Copies of this chain bind each other. A is one copy, B any other.
Amino acid sequence: MIHEPTFSDIQDTHRKINPFINETPVLTSDKINDIYNGELFFKCENFQKSGSFKIRGATNAILNLAHDERINGVVTHSSGNFAGALSLAAKTQGIKAYVIMPENTRKIKIESVRNNEAEIIFCKPTLQAREEKSEEVINETGATFVHPYNNYNVIAGQGTAALELCKTITDLDVVISPVGGGGLISGTAITLSEKIPQATLIGAEPKGADDAYRSLKAGKIIPSENPDTIADGLLTSLGSRTFPVIQRTVSEIMLVSDEFIITAMQIIRKYLDIIVEPSAAITLGAILSKPNIFKNKRIGLILSGGNIDIDTFDNLIRSP
């Protein structure tokens, strides 16, 4: 796709990727609704293949490769969910994937990419090293680079999670999406503006990685420097293809502290009986931060993923 996706592109994308993804459930909890005086609908992408919504965009990017591009495979750089998603999507479609990962990537993430039969190339843990290594791999192999979010096919794929949410719950006052590089919230915005145009779209961003908040204020992209948050899926900064969509459609970026993210993980475990990663719990964290503005509202929350190993989870929710 060489232009920003329209709503009808997202519908087409959903039809295309549908055989390869899960239609994830939307959960509610009467107790959570009682506590927060609202109706909260959690779109559970933690139950998605690869453990996060990223498989949607990754699958769409691969299905849109030209025949000769399929032969040479795809390459991306990621230490997190997109690496797992692209390698799984590539394996499913029978094509080769190269994944550039920083040397300090956690073992569990390396293993999941290796299980998906991708070729892993390690590099120094800097953006410059990642990009140089990607260039090298592209030159050597002819593989097509798939950016984790600054890519219109990826954005169209990510918008299909909201499409399913709006099919299940047709009237929402607010939708809250996490903001990292902006792929998920951009796709969500495009879907929402057609399906529930009166709904307010709020981005939930970690206080310690507040580039979207600052970029919207400044009217231009201001990348994060040394971001510091437990929401390890939201360390990235907005890109040239996500920023304009966010500028046009997002009502507010709410900054959420790590403390509220942890409390949200506890509440989600306690009342929804599920385990999600910090980058997903941040959506409920936004409500915890300012409960009053969400009173009596019908709220969709995109629980973006569940990729956290159980020891890390236990340690986090037990930290004081």
A contact set with B: CB distance below 8 Å = 24-25, 27, 30, 46-47, 49, 269-270, 273-276, 306, 310
Tell me which of B25, B269, B270, B310 contacts A25 (CB under 8 A).
B25
- B269 and A310 form a contact (CB under 8 A): yes
How far is the CB of A189 from the nearest CB of chain B, in Å?
26
B270 in contact with A273 (CB, 8 Å): no
Bound-state CA distance A179–B47 (Å) is 28
Q: Which residues of B contact A47 (CB under 8 A)?
A: 25, 27, 273
Question: Nearest-CB distance from A112 to chain B (Å)?
Answer: 9
Contacts of A276 in B (CB 8 A): 273
Nearest-CB residue, chain B, relative to A307: B273
Q: List 17 A-B contacts (CB under 8 A).
A: A24-B25, A25-B25, A25-B47, A27-B47, A30-B49, A46-B273, A47-B273, A269-B275, A269-B310, A270-B310, A273-B274, A273-B275, A273-B276, A273-B306, A274-B274, A274-B275, A275-B275
The residues of B that contact A269 with a CB separation of less than 8 Å are 275, 310
State A274–B272 Cα separation when bound (angstroms): 9
User: In the complex, how many angstroms separate the beta carbon of A168 from the nearest chain B beta carbon?
Assistant: 10
A19 to chain B, nearest CB (A): 15
A306 / chain B contacts, CB cutoff of 8 Å: 273
| Given A269-B275, A273-B274, A273-B275; 4 other pairs, CB 8 A cutoff | A24-B25, A25-B25, A273-B276, A275-B275
Residues of B within 8 A of A270 (CB): 310
Question: What is the CB-to-nearest-CB distance from A277 to chain B, in angstroms, rounded to a whole number?
Answer: 10
When chains A and B are docked, how far (Å) is the Cα of A188 from the Cα of B301?
34
Q: How far is the CA of A154 from the CA of B275 in the complex (A)?
A: 32
From residue A144, how far is it (CB to closest CB) to chain B in Å? 26
Q: In chain B, what residue has the closest Cβ to A28?
A: B22
Compute how far the CA of A313 lies from the CA of B27 in the bound complex, rounded to whole angstroms. 21
Scoring A46, A273, A306, A310 by chain B CB atoms within 10 A of each residue's CB, the highest score goes to A273
Closest chain B residue, CB of each to CB of A266:
B310
Q: Please indicate the chain B residues that have their CB under 8 angstroms from the CB of A49 in the complex.
A: 30
In the bound complex, what is the Cα–Cα distance between A27 and B273 (angstroms)? 14
Interface centre among A47, A49, A306 (most CB of B within 10 A): A47
Q: Which residue of B lies closest to A27 (CB)?
A: B47
Q: A306's closest neighbor in chain B, by CB?
A: B273
A49 to B33, CA, bound (A): 13
Complex CA distance for A119 and B159, rounded to whole angstroms: 47
Minimum Cβ distance to chain B for residue A211 (Å)? 29
Q: Which 10 A-B pairs have the closest CB atoms?
A: A25-B25, A273-B275, A273-B306, A274-B274, A270-B310, A273-B274, A46-B273, A27-B47, A269-B310, A269-B275
